[in-house]
């Protein structure tokens, strides 16, 4: 099946190809709200993955599983929890039952990074 001209039937790697939303850069935490498009979303939208590559044509790769290092905002404690995006490319704790369940393995407040096991 194709979405935005990208074939999804044969993709089964840790990173999938998406059309990237406006302003997405490599390293951003992204969500998927429009079919075939990964973007920064609105604060509180469920985390999908990390934009690892953004090409000039507006397409790119999103890491969706495995151990991934994300920029984060707010407080993330180690443990299994719901994670969301903050709309600015960072991961935040999900609230009100909204978010993707994943393991936060730890954070580095000096660098502003969190190590997250997306499964």
Mean pLDDT by 10 residues, the chain (119 residues): 56 80 97 94 96 93 92 96 97 90 94 93
Among residues 19, 46, 63, the one where a domain terminates is 63
Q: What is the pLDDT of residue 66?
A: 87
SS3 assignment, position 100: strand
Among residues 63, 81, 104, the one where a domain terminates is 63
Report phi then psi at 101, rounded to 5.
-75, 125
53 in the same domain as 22: yes
Q: What is the pLDDT of residue 1?
A: 45
51 in the same domain as 13: yes
9 in the same domain as 47: yes
Q: What is the pLDDT of residue 97?
A: 81
Q: What is the pLDDT of residue 7?
A: 55
Neighbours of 56 (CB within 10 A): 6
Q: Which domain holds residue 111?
A: 67-117
As given in the structure block, the two tokens for residue 91 are 């991961």
Say how many domains are in the chain: 2
112 in the same domain as 81: yes
100 in the same domain as 56: no
Among residues 38, 63, 88, the one where a domain terminates is 63
- Give the length of the chain: 119
Please, what's the largest Cα pairwise distance for the chain? Answer: 43
């Amino acid at each position: 099946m194709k979405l935005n001209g990208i074939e999804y039937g044969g993709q089964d790697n840790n990173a999938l190809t998406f059309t990237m939303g406006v302003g997405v850069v490599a390293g951003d935490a992204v969500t998927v709200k429009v079919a075939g498009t990964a973007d920064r979303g609105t604060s509180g939208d469920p985390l999908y993955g990390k934009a690892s590559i953004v090409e000039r044509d507006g397409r790119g790769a999103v890491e969706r599983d495995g151990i991934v290092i994300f920029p984060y905002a707010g407080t993330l404690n180690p443990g299994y929890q719901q994670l969301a995006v903050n709309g600015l490319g960072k991961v935040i704790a999900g609230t009100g039952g909204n978010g993707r369940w994943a393991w936060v393995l730890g954070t580095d407040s000096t660098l502003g990074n969190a190590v997250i096991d997306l499964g």
